[in-house]
Amino acid sequence: MKTSKKMIYSSILIILVLILLFFLEANKTRFGMAYTVLQKGMILSVVAVSMNLVTGFTGLFSLGQAGFMAIGAYITAIFLIPLDNIQDVYYISGLSPVILNFKTWLESGPAFLQVLIPYAGLIIGGLVAALFAALIGIPVLRLKSDYLAIATLGFSEIVRAVISSPQLDTITNGSYGLKKIQGFSSIFQTFSIALVCILFMVLLLRSTFGRAFRAIREDEVAAEAMGINLFHHKQLSFVIGSFFSAVSGGMLAMFMRSIDSKTFSVSITYDILLIVVIGGIGSVTGSVFAALLVTAAKEWWLRFFDNPFFIGDFQVPLFKTGFRMVVFSIILLLVVLFYQRGIMGKNEFSWDRLEKRFLKRKASKKGGSKHE
């Protein structure tokens, strides 16, 4: 396909997405479910791509995403709880004087500084998570496969236990969680942050670092023979993936407006892994598509299975709360059985591939009609 055609198709796609976002922003009370699904889907796509960076492109089976998300979420939330609401949130033990003085200074600053507070919270949360990743990466990245998964999963549970401990009541509010968190100003803010994060990871994967990550995934011995520093590149991938997992956690805190340690249980890591597998291990666009599809299926399309269903006077017994997840699990099983490499495999979305598939189907239909 010619470059000019690709540019036209891409421009049309961007315009259609912008029209959709403008429409949803103007009618978010009427189309609240679609608005919510798109926001949450884009947030999960960031952490899914970050997990794919570590697992799919570097070959490190890490399951610590929930822990890094929790770090980012709590730091971002502390930044974004308005000073007027601090006493209502930290009503048991109060807020640490150091953090309180910092927030007082921050909110008394110039107006332009207030606009930057959400972004500062996300970045600082990501940097703190990256620091933890660098520290725990020293021992755990020497482990292989399942052992690495268990070690990172253990770290995630340690983070959750520490966050909810009474000793940190004046910082994390312990088991009571954090509420009254400032949310996104619009759906455009959510999409902008998510797209910047994903674009950064895409550019990284297209650089020499990305090629080194893939070489490590394919064959560590051969990669080392080529002069690639295995530990350095593994740690780099792990740290960057942890940074963006934390940013996604901060975005989730802004989306939910209230969080506690249970929000970041091990189940959220499994959900992210599920998205990566369905989208295709080693495909960025696959992770984005799968994040949107899985979120829409769980939160919207299958919701009617949780409500009573009648055929005349007969009530179908299976249609009740929780049946939605049973149907969702069956659909996932079918997807994994028939699409073992995921929706995209290791491929990325391209107009050339789409055109080839369209022409192939068109040719097969013509061949079938002639044969008849």
Q: Tokens 């006077």 label which residue?
A: 313
Q: Judge whether 245 lies within some domain.
A: yes
Tens digits of residue pLDDT in 249-287: 999 999 999 999 999 998 899 889 999 999 989 899 999
Say if 44 falls within a structural domain.
yes
334 assigned to some structural domain? no
Contact by Cβ (8 Å): 204, 193: no
**Does 256 lie in the same domain as 173?**
yes
Residues 9 and 156 grouped into a single domain: no
| Domain with 6 in it | 1-30
Looking at residue 94, its pLDDT comes to: 87
Residue 72 pLDDT level (bands cut at 50, 70, 90): very high
Does 321 map to a domain?
A: no
Percent of residues, the chain, with pLDDT higher than 70? 96
26 CB-near residues (< 8 Å, 6+ apart): none
Model confidence band, residue 354 (pLDDT cutoffs 50, 70, 90):
confident
Q: Are residues 202 and 348 in the same domain?
A: yes
Residue 301 has pLDDT above 90, yes or no: no
Domain count, the chain: 2
> Residue 372: is its pLDDT beyond 60?
no
Same domain? 59 vs 22 = no
Q: Note whether residue 333 is domain-resident.
A: no
Specify whether 81 is located in the same domain as 178: yes
In this prediction the pTM is 0.91
Asked if residue 26 and residue 53 are part of one domain, the reply reads: no
Residue 314 falls inside a structural domain:
no
Q: What is the 3-state secondary structure (H, E, C) of the chain?
A: CCHHHHHHHHHHHHHHHHHHHHHHHHCCCCCHHHHHHHHHHHHHHHHHHHHHHHHHHCCCCCCCHHHHHHHHHHHHHHHHCCHHHHHHHCCCCCCCHHHHHHHHHHHCCCHHHHHHHHHHHHHHHHHHHHHHHHHHHHHHCCCCHHHHHHHHHHHHHHHHHHHCCHHHHHHHCHHHCECCCCCCCCHHHHHHHHHHHHHHHHHHHHCHHHHHHHHHHHCHHHHHHCCCCHHHHHHHHHHHHHHHHHHHHHHHHHHHCCECHHHHCHHHHHHHHHHHHHHCCCCHHHHHHHHHHHHHHHHHHCHHHHCCEEECCEEECCCCCCHHHHHHHHHHHHHHHHCCCCCCCCCCCCHHHHHHHHHHHHHHHHHHHHHC
pLDDT (mean) for 225-248: 94
- Asked whether residue 308 is assigned to any structural domain, the reply reads no
Residues 9 and 48 in one domain: no
| Euclidean distance between CA atoms 291 and 250, whole angstroms | 17
Residue 280 sits in the same domain as residue 135:
yes
230 & 163 share domain:
yes
198 and 66 co-located in one domain: yes
Does 314 have pLDDT greater than 80? Answer: no
Q: Is residue 238 part of a domain?
A: yes
Please tell me whether residues 69 and 102 are part of one structural domain.
yes
Residues 3 and 149 occupy one common structural domain = no
